[in-house]
Every structure is written in structure tokens, then in C-alpha cells.
Amino acid sequence: MSKESTYIPKSGFSKWFDQRLPLPRMLHDNINAFPTPRNLNYWYTFGGILTFCLVTQIVTGIVLAMHYTADAGLAFASVEHIMRNVNYGWLIRYIHAVGASMFFLAVYVHIFRGLYYGSYKAPREILWILGVVIYLLMVITAFMGYVLPWGQMSFWGATVITNLFSVIPVVGTTITEWLWGGFAVDNATLKRFFSLHYLMPFMIFGVVILHIWSLHVTGNNNPVGVSVKEKQDTVPFAPYYTVKDAFSLVCFLILFAWFIFFNPNILGHTDNYIMADPLVTPAHIVPEWYLLPFYAILRAIPSKLGGVLVMGAAIAILFILPWLDTSKVRSATFRPLYKQFYWIFVVNCIALGYLGSQNPEGLFLVASRICTAYYFIHFLLVLPILGLVEKPKPIPESITKAVLEKMEIRNMKEKSAEA
């Protein structure tokens, strides 16, 4: 953080400690006292929720790894052993499996929040890019984790995804066989996936630290998208946002708990309770729900190499988003046209998710192609052009002004309602 420190050591010991390792000072300045815009809404609580999710996955994952066996002959049985024999094994596994879905739910809210309020724009480009890196690492981690129970979906999902690398010209097959450690997905593949599935969350943790560091250099964006100008635009993080984040987290946990205790398997696929069989492909291979939009894009393109490239581009385009959007106005609140296109884009993404779960034939295929095309049109045409033609609404002078104005309007409405 570039602001001055407000940490005052209280005891002799903390003073002594501060001169040797100013860790409490760093935590105080970055958590307790961190000046945060006073107008953040609940969409801004998902960063805290995401941190909670990461810690949850790491804790439950380490416990699962104590009982799990990474061997093609034993893995499936060891997961059943966790479910039936290990004390609270069912609970820990369901927290981990549902937790992956909740993690993605939270990250999608977080990303779409950023898209709505223009959080990717200067000076937060690096912050945004680090976020996309985290998302990418999450996708890889979850994919490898899903292989570990060694059910039919595990096996065939792994087969389809690793085969994506075989489209690379000339060296494709060599790379795929290198990834497999054989001539098909097999024991060697399972073992390396387990090793990497254990490693990657800690890499994510590292990038999260960079992400938050960058956040604390630029400061939070906020719903009106106007930069912080004076002290009264902000409040200290504690207690204002610790409380808001905690409340939001509790609501999130209610949903989380509902899945764990009432419907733990609804987000998964029943075929994954059948042990992997290399000779039989399930009639209908689908990835977990959070990857369906990309699966729809992959299958919308009638060429193998093309499908893989376009799917890669769908994520890659997020990296250059800060330079595709030509509008200087951050928040969609003051961009009447962007606001509408934003919601079309949201619906388009949900539609892609639905199409990813359907057989790629007939009308579904046509629809996937249209939606895939629109996904790119949004980034490559709509965003650059909107910034040039759109006339933004008047932008408030400051965060405080915007907040006070909103309160005034509310007061006036209440008064007229009374009258």
C-alpha cells in the first residue's frame, strides 16, 4: 500500500516485534485500516467469499488426501471408503465436491461484477489479469480433481480434454502421450493429476496474494466507478466491511450447506458413481456445470483445431479486455447502452452453458454457433464501438456526492409516500 501506515504498537513487545518483522503492521494497514470506498454493495463481498472457498478446498483436500489412494485400481474404492468408513468422510468429501461448485459460482459472480462496474479499466488492468490467471488455474485444478474419483465421467472427461492437445500440428501426439504417460488415460495419468491437483491450489494462493497486493495499490473500484478523491469517500475496512463480508458469507454458507446436506449430488453426474471403463464411453459426456459454456464453444466449431483454438480464445480474450473496451466511464450505471449489452452478454453466457449440456445436433448446434459468435462479437465489436458512440449519463463528482444524492432521493420518495 502506498498510503502511510497508521499502525501504533500497543505494548512493549509489539514495538520490539514491529522493529524486527512488521507483519502485524502490514496486516493492520491492509485489513483493519484499509481505506475502502463507502458505497460498496453486496456484489463486492464475493472477494472475501472466494478467499473462504480457497481455504475450505485446501483444508478439506488435505484431509481427503489422507484417505485417498491415487491408483487406477484402487482410487474408485478409496473414495467409496471415504464415503462409508472414514469418520465424517462423507461430510468432508461433500464439502470438497460441492465446494468446487460454490467456488465457481462465487468466481462467476465476482467476474461479472467486474464486467458491470468496469473494474478491469485503468488503473486496474494488472489486477484484472491476475484474476483471469486465478480463474484459469481454478479451471485446471478442478478438472484434475474431477479425475481423481476415477468414475466414468472422470475418465472420459480426462480423455476428451487431454485429447485437445493432440490438435497441435506435428508434435500433438507426442505431447498428448507425454501428458498421459502412456497411450491412453491410465494409472500414470491419474497419479500425476493427483500430484498436480495437490500443488495447484497453493499456486492459486500465491497469485491471490499478488491479486490483493495489486488491489491495495490501486484501491477498490466501486459501484459509481468514480475514483476515491478525499478521505470522506472511504471508510476503514474494519468494522464496516468485515461485517458486511461476514453477513454475505453467512448467506452464502446457507446455500452451501443446503447443497451439502440436502442435495450433494445434484451438481455432479450419476455416471461418476460407475468405475472408469476404458472400453465404454458413456452415452452423454458432459463436464461439470461450470465448464459447460466452454464445452458448447468447443463443439460449435466444425473443425477440431478450430474448436480448440476458439475455446482457448474465449478465455484469452479476457486478458486483453481492458484494451478492447474504449469507454473511459467505468460503471455501467452511467452507460445506458453498455448496460443493455451487458445483460444480453450475461444471457448469452447462460445460454451457452445450457447448450453445452445438450447434444450438438440440429437446432442446438445452430444455437451454439450463434451464441459463440455473439460471445466474440461482444468483445471485438460491441465494446470497442460502444465507447465511441455512446453518450454517458452525467457522472457524479465524487463517491460522497453520489451517496448523498441517493439518500436525498430516497428521503424525498419516503416523504411523498407519507403525504
If contact means CB under 5 to 8 A according to the sort of partner, which of ligand HEM, another protein, none does residue 146 touch? ligand HEM
- 37, 45, 93, 176: which one binds ligand HEM (CB under 6 A): 93
If contact means CB under 5 to 8 A according to the sort of partner, which of another protein, ligand HEM, none does residue 418 touch? none
How many angstroms from the chain centroid is the CA of residue 84? 32
Q: What residues contact 41, with CB distance under 8 A and at least 6 apart?
A: 223
Question: How does DSSP classify residue 393?
Answer: P
**Neighbouring-strand partners of residue 36:** 235
153 binding ligand HEM? (CB under 6 A)? no
If contact means CB under 5 to 8 A according to the sort of partner, which of another protein, ligand HEM, none does residue 28 touch? none
89 binding ligand HEM? (CB under 6 A)? no
CB of 239 to ligand HEM, least distance (A): 29
The C-alpha atoms of residue 175 and residue 88 are separated, in whole angstroms, by 40
CB of 140 to another protein, least distance (A): 16
Contacts of residues 351-357 at CB distance under 8 Å and 24 or more positions apart, as own/partner, are: 352/292, 352/293, 352/296, 352/297, 353/289, 353/292, 353/293, 353/296, 354/292, 355/292, 355/296, 355/300, 356/286, 356/287, 356/291, 356/292, 356/293, 356/294, 356/295, 356/296, 356/299, 357/286, 357/289, 357/292
CB of 223 to ligand HEM, least distance (A): 29
417 binding another protein? (CB under 8 A)? no
CB of 200 to ligand HEM, least distance (A): 7
Site for ligand HEM, residues 183 to 202, rule: CB under 6 A: 197-198, 201
The C-alpha atoms of residue 232 and residue 403 are separated, in whole angstroms, by 11
CB of 227 to ligand HEM, least distance (A): 33
Site for another protein, residues 291 to 320, rule: CB under 8 A: 298-299, 301-305, 307
- 68, 146, 180, 334: which one binds another protein (CB under 8 A): 180
The C-alpha atoms of residue 89 and residue 150 are separated, in whole angstroms, by 17
Whose Cβ is closer to another protein: residue 203's or residue 305's?
A: 305
260 binding ligand HEM? (CB under 6 A)? no
| Cell reading at 45 | 463481498
If contact means CB under 5 to 8 A according to the sort of partner, which of ligand HEM, another protein, none does residue 278 touch? another protein
Residue pair 377/345 in contact by the 8 Å Cβ criterion: no
Nearest to 142 by CA among 100, 196, 187, 84: 100
What's the alpha-carbon Rg for the chain, to the nearest Å? 24
404 binding another protein? (CB under 8 A)? no
- 3, 15, 284, 413: which one binds another protein (CB under 8 A): 284
Residue located via cell numbers 481427503: 64
188 binding another protein? (CB under 8 A)? yes
Interface residues with another protein (CB under 8 A) are 156, 159-164, 166, 177-184, 186, 188, 192, 278-281, 283-285, 298-299, 301-305, 307, 359-361, 365
Interface residues with ligand HEM (CB under 6 A) are 54, 57-58, 61-62, 64-65, 68, 79, 93, 96-97, 100, 103, 138, 141-142, 145-146, 148-149, 197-198, 201, 204, 268
